[in-house]
C-alpha cells in the first residue's frame, strides 16, 4: 500500500477549513511558507493542482480536486479522533460513550445527564455528536441513539422512543396573533421549516390541513434545535418533534396552540455494533435511558 503524505493532507484540510494559508499556519502554529511547501509536495505527489492563484490575485483558492481531498481528510481525521477518544475513555470500566445527533444531544439527552449521574454516580458518560452511522468497524462509541427506520447495516437496533409532530410557537407570538386555537389560523402565521423531511409542513397539510396552507414560504433551519430556538424567539410557528420540544413546553418558553398531531410511531432507536457484547456500564446506561423514555 502506497504511503500517504499525511502531513501535507492535514495541511490542505486546515487551509480549506480555515479559509487560507495564513490562518491555517496560525491554526497549526507553523510558518505559512511551511504550509505552502507541504501543498507543493502534495501537488507533486498527486500530479494535479489542489490550489490555484487567479491572475492578479495574491490569495490561493482551492481547486475541485483539492476540496474533495480536504473534505475526505477531515472526515477521516474525525473518525480517527472518535476512535482515539473511545480508546481513552474505555480505560475506565465505568466509562460509557454515546453517539447521537446534535439536536437530540442538546434537546433530550443533555438535560437528563445530571439525573443519570445522580442515579449512577460512578459512571462517566461522554457524548459524541455525529450525524452518520455507517460502519461498525470504525464506530468509536458504546452505543448510538438515532432517529429513522431502525435499519443500519452491521448494527443491531432496538426501539427506544416514539414521537409525534405538532406546531409550537412562542407565548408572545401566540398572544399577539390572537391566541389561535383553530387550524385555519395557520394560513396567517409564518411557517418555520426543519430540513428533516420527516418534519415537513407538507406532511402536516396532508393529514390535518388546511388544504390551502402555503408550505413553501418561510425560513428553513439545518437542525431541529435551531428550528425550536427560532420558534422560541418568536420568528414563527414550527412543526416540532414532540420529544425535542417537551422541555420547552414544560418551561412555557414554547406553547402548543393546537391539539392535533401527526403520530410517527417508533422514531428513536438505540444501536450497537453487531456481534460486539455490550459492557456492563453500557447496559446500565441503556436500561436507565429506556426507563426515562417510558
What is the 3 state secondary structure string of 252-269?
CCCECCCCCCEEEEEEEE
pLDDT exceeds cutoff 70 at 86 = no
* Mean pLDDT over each residue of the chain, to the nearest integer: 89
Q: Packing angle between helix 6-18 and helix 64-89, nearest 10 degrees?
A: 110
Q: What is the pLDDT of residues 132-141, one digit of tens each?
A: 777 777 787 8
Please give the share of the chain, as a percent, with pLDDT higher than 70.
95
How far apart, in Å, are the Cα atoms of 12 and each of 9, 58, 60, 66? 5, 18, 12, 8
Radius of gyration of the chain (CA): 24
Percentage of the chain beyond pLDDT 90 is 57
For residues 9-29, give the mean pLDDT: 86
Output the pLDDT for position 219: 96
- H or E element that contains 159: strand 155-168
Q: What confidence score (pLDDT) does residue 294 get?
A: 84
Q: What is the mean pLDDT of residues 262-277?
A: 92
Going by DSSP bridges, is the β-strand pair 262-273/155-168 parallel, antiparallel, or unpaired? antiparallel
Find out whether 158 and 287 touch, Cβ atoms under 8 Å. no
Reply yes or no on whether the pLDDT at 89 is more than 90.
no
Q: What is the pLDDT of residue 91?
A: 59
- Per-residue pLDDT at 56 exceeds 60: no
Question: Distance (Å, rounded) from C-alpha 179 to C-alpha 156?
Answer: 46
Asked whether the beta carbons of 223 and 190 are under 8 A apart, the reply is no
Q: Per-residue pLDDT for 37 more than 80? A: yes
Contacts of 275 (CB under 8 A, 6+ apart): none
Mean pLDDT of 194-215: 95
pLDDT band at 2 (very low <50, low <70, confident <90, very high): low
| Domains of the chain: residue spans and CATH | 6-79 (1.10.10.10), 91-294 (3.40.190.290)
Measured distance CA(290)–CA(95) in Å, rounded = 18
Amino acid at each position: 500500500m502506497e504511503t500517504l503524505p499525511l502531513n501535507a493532507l492535514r495541511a490542505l484540510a486546515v487551509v480549506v477549513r480555515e479559509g487560507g494559508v495564513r490562518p491555517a499556519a496560525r491554526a497549526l502554529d507553523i510558518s505559512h511558507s511551511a504550509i505552502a511547501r507541504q501543498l507543493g509536495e502534495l501537488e507533486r505527489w498527486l500530479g494535479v493542482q489542489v490550489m490555484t492563484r487567479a491572475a492578479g490575485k495574491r490569495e490561493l483558492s482551492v481547486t475541485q480536486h483539492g476540496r474533495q481531498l480536504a473534505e475526505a481528510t477531515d472526515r477521516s481525521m474525525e473518525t480517527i479522533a472518535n476512535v482515539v477518544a473511545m480508546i481513552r475513555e474505555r480505560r475506565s470500566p465505568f466509562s460509557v460513550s454515546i453517539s447521537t445527533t446534535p439536536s437530540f444531544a442538546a434537546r433530550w439527552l443533555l438535560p437528563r445527564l445530571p439525573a443519570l449521574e445522580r442515579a449512577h454516580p460512578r459512571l462517566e458518560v461522554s457524548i459524541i455528536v455525529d450525524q452518520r452511522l455507517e460502519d461498525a468497524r470504525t464506530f468509536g462509541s458504546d452505543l448510538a441513539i438515532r432517529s429513522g427506520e431502525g435499519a443500519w447495516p452491521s448494527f443491531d437496533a432496538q426501539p427506544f422512543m416514539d414521537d409525534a409532530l405538532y406546531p409550537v410557537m412562542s407565548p408572545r407570538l401566540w398572544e399577539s396573533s390572537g391566541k389561535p386555537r383553530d387550524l385555519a389560523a395557520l394560513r396567517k402565521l409564518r411557517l418555520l421549516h426543519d430540513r428533516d423531511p420527516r418534519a415537513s409542513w407538507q406532511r402536516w397539510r396532508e393529514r390535518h390541513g388546511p388544504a390551502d396552507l402555503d408550505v413553501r414560504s418561510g425560513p428553513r433551519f439545518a437542525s431541529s434545535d435551531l428550528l425550536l430556538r427560532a420558534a422560541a424567539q418568536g420568528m414563527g410557528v414550527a412543526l416540532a418533534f414532540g420529544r425535542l420540544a417537551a422541555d420547552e413546553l414544560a418551561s412555557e418558553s414554547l406553547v402548543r396552540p393546537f391539539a392535533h398531531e401527526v403520530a410517527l410511531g417508533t422514531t428513536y432507536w438505540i444501536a450497537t455494533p453487531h456481534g460486539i457484547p455490550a459492557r456492563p456500564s453500557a447496559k446500565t446506561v441503556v436500561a436507565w435511558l429506556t426507563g426515562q423514555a417510558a
